[in-house]
Chain A
Amino acid sequence: MVQRKQDMIFGFVGIGAALFAMWQSYQYPPDSALFPLLSAAGIFICSLMLLVISGKNKSSSGDEKVEGINIRSALTFGLIVLIYVFSIEKMGFFSSSFLFVLVISMVWGGFGKGVSIRFSLIFAVIFTILLYVTFVKIFTVPLPKGFLL
């Protein structure tokens, strides 16, 4: 996607979000609505300006390609993070964190090609022990406990 097209999409989304925020703000007493209204109006004006600028900007800078995203990495990372976060309360913070570090370093470490599995395992164990000592023993933070630790 080129920069100009992305800015136009962004401008339209901004206008929609600002209008929704303004409509919501009108439901509050005037005193409480003032600041959200001002902020939403600011978003609206900036989005409109972005649309106008990207409409006019047909030069080479507007047709620059924007930085893409590695979809495969994004989906894999998103899935692993979601499983990690939802498993914290079920399995316990330390066991799920240990598995998370291990899985991330194995998947992105090329299953032993880039980062050895032995290193990943040792690092995950030491890191989890450090977390336990720091948060449980030193800072006495109550962390979620599940059926494991």
Chain B
Amino acid sequence: MFEHLASSLSGTLVFANIVAMTLSTAAGIMVGALPGLSASMGVALLIPFTFTMDPLTGLLCMAGMYNGAIYGGSIAAILINIPGTPGAVVTTFDGNAMAKKGQGRYALETAVICSTVGGVASALALMFIAPYLAALALKFGPAEYFWISVLGLSTIASFLSGSTVKGLFCAFAGLFVSTVGIDQISGVFRFTFDNMYLMEGFPEIVVLIGLYSIPEVFTMLEDVAAGKTAAASDSELGQTKRKEEKRWTFQNDFKDSIPTWTRSSIIGIIIGIIPGAGSSIAAFISYKEAKRKAKDPESFGKGNVEGVRAAETANNAVTASAMIPMLTFGIPGNVVTAIMVGGLLIHGLHPGPNLFVKEPMIVFGLMWGMLITNFIMLALGYFGSGIFAKCLKIPTVVLAASVAVLSTVGTYSLNNSMFDVYSMLCFGVIGLAMRKMKLPIAPAVLGIILGPLAETELRRALMIADSPVEIFTRPLSFFLFALTLLSLFYPVLKARMGARGNKE
């Protein structure tokens, strides 16, 4: 498989792809830097733009957007103490304190260098782990695939939601929505109510744009109405221009950073592979570890550069490793990769081990893209953080209006259908209701994405099996089933153990 890795590099490094990666990484940094806009929304809005592109170019754009947005979150975190993305929450602890001490530029440089190190380590892990896992996954049968998709859903429902029951409810609702339209196996129309527009079901991207963009637009406008906007002042942005302050230097910072880079990269890569855990969890664990290992733990939270190093290395180390389960098993590790599955599907690519066999140039090209966009991000972030910081001055209200229009045009351009726009708005209202009712959107999204795979594999497994019980009793199926149960009951067990610990 590694001969494809070498040969796909030349296909990746063509002029159009380099331009696409640079523009999308810049757009990603901008999206990440703006509080309210997330990496998942950025990728969802980008997909319609990639529709007319070559599949690899489109995927490289998504890679740039993803990497750029996760790093971009640190800009707002450092300068205005508001995390641009959830993964940058931990960066606010020390990053903003450094900015207040007049070390804003040093913090921004540390953030982009550490993000690059974490991202590169993660991309290398993707390149060297994924081919072996894909070869292993080729030996799986339908029952194993069914259980892997159920495991992916159950872990996200358990770990990403405050309540497992609500998480599972949303996951089942997502699975149900995925059954609308023509049954791919028997040709029966399900839940279409004689509406010809529903015969193909709801396109995944339409649902994703609705669930992620419209609630975000409304929340931004609600914040404007309540006077809670995050516009930066000139003095805060001036941090990026100061010449006399402390800067990142190879002699002073490189050697000190190596232990944190190593530790935080490993944490980020492992967390990225686990479905349901995301960049914010990786950053928290990494920060705690850095504090535990530090000689002066009391200085954390007061502007210790180690805090920024740990958080930024770990949150970007999640990006490529989260693609390992997506590319090898077809199971997305987090929301962004779930949306990327939607991006792959509109190009006619079905993620999973067979993609390594059928389209190796695209799979390995994407891996190169995850690596190369880190270096583009480094150049853009190091030399252009001042320009990206200026985005923080854009009034929230025009940002909200722009996102609403982009959501509309993006949805329309998928099938040139106004019905898709109406569907997107309906899912937007559902997404808003879910947000207000504290129902997690991620399990629903994963249910919609994984539904067709889970259903097809379950039915294939039942057709092959002599008895339905067989889908539980095959050794690997049983192991995956046990893991699913463990992931569902883990929050209950943890709460009980916590309660027992408190009593003692």
Residue pairs across A and B with Cβ atoms less than 8 A apart, 28 shown, are: A24-B191, A29-B188, A34-B458, A35-B175, A35-B455, A36-B179, A38-B175, A42-B172, A42-B175, A43-B172, A43-B173, A53-B165, A66-B436, A69-B436, A73-B222, A77-B217, A77-B218, A97-B405, A97-B409, A100-B405, A101-B402, A101-B405, A104-B401, A109-B397, A114-B395, A139-B49, A143-B409, A144-B412
Candidates A3, A73, A85, A140; contact of B218 at CB < 8 Å: A73
A142 contacts B422, C-beta separation under 8 Å: no
What chain B residues lie within 8 Å of A14 (beta carbons)? 169
- The answer to whether residues A141 and B172 also contact, given A31-B459, A70-B222, A73-B218 and a CB cut-off of 8 A, is no
Contact of B418 with A by CB under 8 A? yes
A66 contacts B438, C-beta separation under 8 Å: yes
Candidates A66, A68, A115; contact of B395 at CB < 8 Å: A115
Q: How far is the CA of A75 from the CA of B74 in the complex (A)?
A: 35
- The answer to whether residues A46 and B168 also contact, given A66-B437, A143-B412 and a CB cut-off of 8 A, is yes
B176 contacts A39, C-beta separation under 8 Å: yes
- List residues of B (367-397) whose CB comes within 8 Å of A's CBs: 395, 397
> Helix, strand, loop or mixed for chain A's interface?
helix
- The answer to whether residues A50 and B190 also contact, given A43-B176, A73-B218, A144-B418 and a CB cut-off of 8 A, is no
- List residues of A (104-149) whose CB comes within 8 Å of B's CBs: 104-105, 108-109, 114-115, 119-120, 123, 127, 131, 134-135, 139-144
What chain B residues lie within 8 Å of A89 (beta carbons)? 418
B398 contacts A85, C-beta separation under 8 Å: no
What chain B residues lie within 8 Å of A28 (beta carbons)? 183, 188, 190
Candidates B169, B188, B222, B402; contact of A47 at CB < 8 Å: B169
A88 contacts B408, C-beta separation under 8 Å: yes
What chain B residues lie within 8 Å of A50 (beta carbons)? 165-166, 169
- List residues of B (318-366) whose CB comes within 8 Å of A's CBs: none
- The answer to whether residues A114 and B224 also contact, given A24-B191, A74-B218 and a CB cut-off of 8 A, is yes
Q: How far is the CA of A89 from the CA of B417 in the complex (A)?
A: 11
Contact of B473 with A by CB under 8 A? no
A43 contacts B436, C-beta separation under 8 Å: no
Contact of B467 with A by CB under 8 A? no
Which residue on B lies nearest to A21, using beta carbons?
Answer: B176
Candidates A32, A42, A119; contact of B188 at CB < 8 Å: A32
- The answer to whether residues A140 and B168 also contact, given A35-B458, A85-B422 and a CB cut-off of 8 A, is no
A85 contacts B188, C-beta separation under 8 Å: no
Contact of B404 with A by CB under 8 A? yes
B418 contacts A105, C-beta separation under 8 Å: no
- List residues of B (202-218) whose CB comes within 8 Å of A's CBs: 217-218
A96 CB, nearest partner CB in chain B, Å: 9
Contact of B186 with A by CB under 8 A? yes
- List residues of B (28-60) whose CB comes within 8 Å of A's CBs: 49, 51-52
What chain B residues lie within 8 Å of A131 (beta carbons)? 405, 409
Range class of the B interface residue count:
35 or more
Contact of B499 with A by CB under 8 A? no
Which interface residue of A39, A69, A141 has the most chain B CB atoms within 10 A? Answer: A39
What chain B residues lie within 8 Å of A69 (beta carbons)? 222, 436
Which residue on A lies nearest to B414, using beta carbons?
Answer: A141
Interface string of A9-33 (1 = CB under 8 A from B): 0100010000001001100110110
Contact of B185 with A by CB under 8 A? yes
Q: How far is the CA of A47 from the CA of B165 in the complex (A)?
A: 8
What chain B residues lie within 8 Å of A83 (beta carbons)? none
Contact of A2 with B by CB under 8 A? no
A19 CB, nearest partner CB in chain B, Å: 13
Which residue on A lies nearest to B53, using beta carbons?
Answer: A139
Candidates A108, A115, A127; contact of B221 at CB < 8 Å: A108
A104 contacts B397, C-beta separation under 8 Å: yes
Which residue on B lies nearest to A139, using beta carbons?
Answer: B52
B70 CB, nearest partner CB in chain A, Å: 24
What chain B residues lie within 8 Å of A29 (beta carbons)? 186, 188
What chain A residues lie within 8 Å of B217 (beta carbons)? 77
- The answer to whether residues A123 and B398 also contact, given A31-B459, A100-B405 and a CB cut-off of 8 A, is yes
A139 contacts B413, C-beta separation under 8 Å: yes
Which residue on A lies nearest to B193, using beta carbons?
Answer: A24
B175 contacts A39, C-beta separation under 8 Å: yes
Which interface residue of B52, B179, B190 has the most chain A CB atoms within 10 A? Answer: B179
Interface string of A49-79 (1 = CB under 8 A from B): 1100100000000000011111011100100
What chain A residues lie within 8 Å of B425 (beta carbons)? 81, 85
What chain A residues lie within 8 Å of B451 (beta carbons)? 35, 39
- 5 other A-B residue contacts (CB within 8 Å) besides A39-B175, A88-B412, A104-B221: A35-B454, A43-B169, A68-B436, A73-B222, A131-B405
What chain B residues lie within 8 Å of A141 (beta carbons)? 52, 409, 413, 416
B179 contacts A108, C-beta separation under 8 Å: no
Which residue on B lies nearest to A134, using beta carbons?
Answer: B49
Contact of B469 with A by CB under 8 A? no
What chain B residues lie within 8 Å of A85 (beta carbons)? 408, 418, 421-422, 425
A46 contacts B185, C-beta separation under 8 Å: no
Q: How far is the CA of A50 from the CA of B222 in the complex (A)?
A: 29
B486 CB, nearest partner CB in chain A, Å: 18
B436 CB, nearest partner CB in chain A, Å: 6
What chain B residues lie within 8 Å of A72 (beta carbons)? 225
What chain A residues lie within 8 Å of B221 (beta carbons)? 73, 77, 104, 108
Contact of B14 with A by CB under 8 A? no
Q: How far is the CA of A41 from the CA of B219 in the complex (A)?
A: 33
A105 contacts B188, C-beta separation under 8 Å: no
B38 CB, nearest partner CB in chain A, Å: 19
B185 contacts A31, C-beta separation under 8 Å: yes
What chain A residues lie within 8 Å of B173 (beta carbons)? 39, 43
Which interface residue of B49, B176, B188, B418 has the most chain A CB atoms within 10 A? Answer: B176
Q: How far is the CA of A25 from the CA of B173 in the complex (A)?
A: 14
B46 CB, nearest partner CB in chain A, Å: 12
Q: How far is the CA of A44 from the CA of B445 in the complex (A)?
A: 19
A135 contacts B413, C-beta separation under 8 Å: yes
